[in-house]
Structure 1
Amino acid sequence: MVGFRGLRVLAVAAGSVGGLSGAAYGLLNTQSRQARTVIGVPRELPFVADGVFAPASSGPPLTFAVFGDSIAAGLGAESPDGLPGVRLARELAAASGGPVRLVTYAVSGSRTTDLVPQVDAALRTPPDVALIMIGGNDVTARIRIRTSAALLAAQVRRLTDAGTAVVVGTCPDLGAIRPIPQPLRAVARRWSLALARAQTRELARTEATSVPLAALLSPRFMADPDELFSPDRFHPNGAGYALAAEVVLAPLCAAARVRTMA
């Protein structure tokens, strides 16, 4: 999700954009250091479990690609079975009755600018259906909201022009991350929700389907943080990813049906 160093950048951005007083900026800067201390630095990489997931029947596999940041990659899942890509590949296979090949291009720490090499790699053999989840690192990297959303739409168009059906989970609500103290958490929430809205507007001009992750998931994560966050209190755990997979499954199944009938 969010880069840890980006918390300080977010404090700087809040001060420069919002015209905060020196005292208010000092508070945000102090809080960013406190949050980084509490959260720590991830010591593990996400599991990789790419491969073919097949029900009883066989046939040529539907290729399902996952793009984005640590959330898309599944950092925080306790096992490969908990990865969002694995959960969704299995569900797609069950729904379609045929095999599904999962290919993960998502990389922890990615910003929307980093989608370019991910999509470059995928377009060597365009996937049938794709899921993109990205945006949190853009907030803390001070990438302009309008620029970030336009970059996302441009990469979506590259995929759809190649015949890939695309579903995008828009930027999650960073205000759900409890280790980020107030008022810094409120700044993170405001910016992440603004980015999600901008992503939705830009995606409406493409052939992709957008899923509002913040609106659908934030209430649950805020109500049950101990049940849905991993030990770093920053990334979801397997249960959290199961919830995220649940809200994007129906749009993915619809996209996959359209692609296979094309």
Structure 2
Amino acid sequence: MTTLRFRVLGDSLAAGVGCTRVEQSIGHVLTGALRAAGHDIELSVHAVPGARSADLAPQVRAAVAAGTDLALLVIGANDLTRLTPPAVGARLLQDAVAGLVTAGARVIVVTAPDMGVLGHVPPAFRDMVSQASRLYATAQADAATTAGATVAHVGPEVFSRFAADDRMFSADRFHPSAEGYAVIARELTPYVLAAAQPV
């Protein structure tokens, strides 16, 4: 059986900040799903909490040096909080995806989340923040697709669950809890399983 080298890149969501155990993080949950589907998986997580799109290049270099067959890239939340222009973030993401694809990886991109669901966003500004999140995610999706990635669409029903249920968040009210990560991972599983199939 061929071992699939699965690499997870991006920010704190990719790194699993908010989990109480590493096994609850997205990369590990998805690795479990891949193994349950019969794949032999070697996982490494290159994600860095706090990372923005401008910080992806070193992660890509590390993943390429380690050898990558399948890559999950989660980025955008910190770009939004730091007001990175969509065109700038999208270009940086496109470069990161292109680097992975050129190295032979199949890449799945998870775009920026809807930051309007965060409890500390004042109600009067939530629609505006949600709209900005969608615009940023759309620019990311276009760039990622252009570079050869598959964009995993986390639907609005997932963000609605986060908005309605405090249990989706960890104690900091910013990062997901283990339950929140499980919900996100379920959305991503079909994309990861499809990308893991032989071409």
TM-score normalised according to structure 2 size: 0.94
Residue in 2 that maps onto 1:245:
185
Structure with higher Rg: it is 1
Residue in 1 that maps onto 2:49:
108
Residue in 2 that maps onto 1:43:
none
How is 1:155-170 mapped onto 2 (pairs within 5 angstroms)?
155-170=96-111
User: Structure 2: which 5+ runs fail to align?
Assistant: none
2:122 is paired with a residue of what secondary structure?
coil
Residue in 2 that maps onto 1:67:
9
How is 1:62-211 mapped onto 2 (pairs within 5 angstroms)?
62-95=4-37, 97-211=38-152
Show structure 1 runs of 4+ deviating over 6 A.
Answer: none
**Counterparts of 2:61 and 2:85 in 1: how far apart (Å)?**
23
Count of residue pairs the alignment pairs up: 199
User: Structure 1: which 5+ runs fail to align?
Assistant: 1-58
Q: Give the RMSD, CA atoms, in angstroms.
A: 1.5
Percent sequence identity is: 38
Which residue identity does 2:138 align to in structure 1?
Answer: R
1:235 is paired with a residue of what secondary structure?
coil
**Counterparts of 1:63 and 1:216 in 2: how far apart (Å)?**
31
**Counterparts of 1:170 and 1:197 in 2: how far apart (Å)?**
8
**Counterparts of 1:203 and 1:235 in 2: how far apart (Å)?**
24
**Counterparts of 1:60 and 1:140 in 2: how far apart (Å)?**
40
Structure possessing the higher relative contact order (Cα contacts under 8 Å, 6 or more residues apart): 2
**Counterparts of 1:251 and 1:212 in 2: how far apart (Å)?**
9
Residues 139, 188 of structure 1: 8 Å contact kept: no
Residue in 2 that maps onto 1:48:
none
1:233 has 2:168 as partner:
no
**Counterparts of 1:129 and 1:80 in 2: how far apart (Å)?**
20
**Counterparts of 1:156 and 1:103 in 2: how far apart (Å)?**
17
Give per-residue Cα distances to partners, 1:153-207, cap 9 Å, x unaligned: 1110110111100001111000010122233444432221110111112223132
